[in-house]
Copies of this chain bind each other. A is one copy, B any other.
Amino acid sequence: MVMAINGGFPGPNITAKVGDTVEVELSNNLNTEGVVIHWHGIRQFTTPWYDGTASVSQCVINPGQTFLYKFKVDKAGTYFYHGHYGMQREAGLYGSLIVEEGDQGQKEPFQYDGEFSLLLSDWWHQTVYQQEVGLSSDPFQWINEPQSLLINGRGQYNCSLASLPECSLGGGEQWAPNVLKVLPNKTYRLRIASTTSLASLNLAIGGHNVTVVEADGNYVQPFSTTDVDIYSGETYSVLFTTNQNPDENYWISVGVRGRLPQTPQALALVNYLPNHASKFPTSPPPVTPQWDDYNRSKAFSNRIQGLEGTTPPPPADYDRRIMLLNTQNTIDGLTVWAINNVSLSFPPTPYLGALKYGIKAAFDQTPPPDTFPDCRYDIMSPPANPNATTGNAIYTLDFNSTVDVILQNANTLQPNDSEIHPWHMHGHNFWVLGYGDGKFQRGDEKLFEKAGRRPPLKNTAVIFPFGWTALRFVADNPGAWPFHCHIEPHLHMGMGVVIAEGVEFLADVPRETLSCGLTGMMFSGNGEEGHN
Which residues from chain A sit less than 8 Å from chain B, CB to CB?
1, 31-35, 55, 59-60, 62-65, 85-88, 127, 129-130, 132-133, 346-348, 356-358, 492, 508, 510-512, 514-517, 520-532
Q: How far is the CA of A32 from the CA of B93 in the complex (A)?
A: 14
B516 and A62 contact, CB distance less than 8 A:
yes
Return the contact of A522 from the options B1, B87, B531 (Cβ within 8 A).
B531
Q: How far is the CA of A256 from the CA of B529 in the complex (A)?
A: 52
CB distance from A67 to the nearest CB of B (A): 12
With CB as the reference atom, state the residue of chain B lying closest to A349.
Answer: B64
Q: How far is the CA of A88 from the CA of B32 in the complex (A)?
A: 9
A520 and B510 contact, CB distance less than 8 A:
no
B62 and A62 contact, CB distance less than 8 A:
yes
CB distance from A2 to the nearest CB of B (A): 9
Return the contact of A532 from the options B60, B64, B129, B358 (Cβ within 8 A).
B358
CB distance from A289 to the nearest CB of B (A): 36
A532 and B34 contact, CB distance less than 8 A:
no
A31 and B132 contact, CB distance less than 8 A:
yes
Which residues of chain B are within 8 angstroms of A34 by Cβ–Cβ distance?
32-34, 62-63
A65 and B517 contact, CB distance less than 8 A:
yes
B532 and A357 contact, CB distance less than 8 A:
yes
Given pairs A32-B33, A127-B129, 20 additional interface contacts (CB within 8 A):
A31-B86, A31-B129, A31-B492, A32-B34, A32-B60, A59-B62, A62-B516, A64-B346, A65-B517, A127-B127, A127-B130, A129-B129, A358-B532, A508-B527, A508-B528, A511-B521, A511-B524, A514-B524, A520-B524, A523-B523
Which residues of chain B are within 8 angstroms of A492 by Cβ–Cβ distance?
31
Q: How far is the CA of A521 from the CA of B511 in the complex (A)?
A: 8
Q: How far is the CA of A520 from the CA of B516 in the complex (A)?
A: 9
A527 and B515 contact, CB distance less than 8 A:
no
A65 and B516 contact, CB distance less than 8 A:
yes
Q: Is the contact region of chain A dominated by helix, strand, or loop, or is it mixed?
A: loop
B515 and A64 contact, CB distance less than 8 A:
no
- 16 A-B residue contacts at CB 8 Å? A1-B129, A31-B87, A31-B492, A32-B35, A32-B86, A64-B346, A65-B517, A127-B127, A129-B129, A508-B527, A508-B532, A511-B521, A511-B526, A512-B524, A520-B520, A523-B525
Task: Give the 5 A-B residue pairs with the shortest CB-CB distance, closest first.
Answer: A64-B348, A32-B86, A511-B524, A511-B527, A31-B86
CB distance from A129 to the nearest CB of B (A): 6
Q: How far is the CA of A353 from the CA of B478 in the complex (A)?
A: 36
Which residues of chain B are within 8 angstroms of A129 by Cβ–Cβ distance?
1, 31, 127, 129
Q: How far is the CA of A516 from the CA of B130 in the complex (A)?
A: 28
Which residues of chain B are within 8 angstroms of A130 by Cβ–Cβ distance?
1, 127
Q: How far is the CA of A522 from the CA of B515 in the complex (A)?
A: 11
Which residues of chain B are within 8 angstroms of A532 by Cβ–Cβ distance?
356-358, 508
B515 and A133 contact, CB distance less than 8 A:
no
B133 and A1 contact, CB distance less than 8 A:
yes
Which residues of chain B are within 8 angstroms of A60 by Cβ–Cβ distance?
32, 62
B530 and A508 contact, CB distance less than 8 A:
yes
Q: How far is the CA of A75 from the CA of B346 in the complex (A)?
A: 42
Q: How far is the CA of A130 from the CA of B126 in the complex (A)?
A: 12
A531 and B524 contact, CB distance less than 8 A:
no
With CB as the reference atom, state the residue of chain B lying closest to A356.
Answer: B532
Q: How far is the CA of A60 from the CA of B87 in the complex (A)?
A: 20
Return the contact of A348 from the options B62, B520, B531 (Cβ within 8 A).
B62
Which residues of chain B are within 8 angstroms of A356 by Cβ–Cβ distance?
532
With CB as the reference atom, state the residue of chain B lying closest to A136.
Answer: B31
Which residues of chain B are within 8 angstroms of A529 by Cβ–Cβ distance?
508
CB distance from A481 to the nearest CB of B (A): 20
Which residues of chain B are within 8 angstroms of A1 by Cβ–Cβ distance?
129-130, 133
Which residues of chain B are within 8 angstroms of A516 by Cβ–Cβ distance?
62, 65, 515
A64 and B524 contact, CB distance less than 8 A:
no
CB distance from A33 to the nearest CB of B (A): 4
With CB as the reference atom, state the residue of chain B lying closest to A523.
Answer: B524
Return the contact of A357 from the options B65, B524, B531 (Cβ within 8 A).
B531
CB distance from A476 to the nearest CB of B (A): 22
Q: How far is the CA of A532 from the CA of B356 in the complex (A)?
A: 7
Q: How far is the CA of A336 from the CA of B62 in the complex (A)?
A: 23
Given contacts A32-B88, A34-B62, A64-B348, contact A520 B527 (CB under 8 A): no
B527 and A512 contact, CB distance less than 8 A:
yes
Which residues of chain B are within 8 angstroms of A132 by Cβ–Cβ distance?
31
CB distance from A480 to the nearest CB of B (A): 16
Q: How far is the CA of A492 from the CA of B520 in the complex (A)?
A: 29
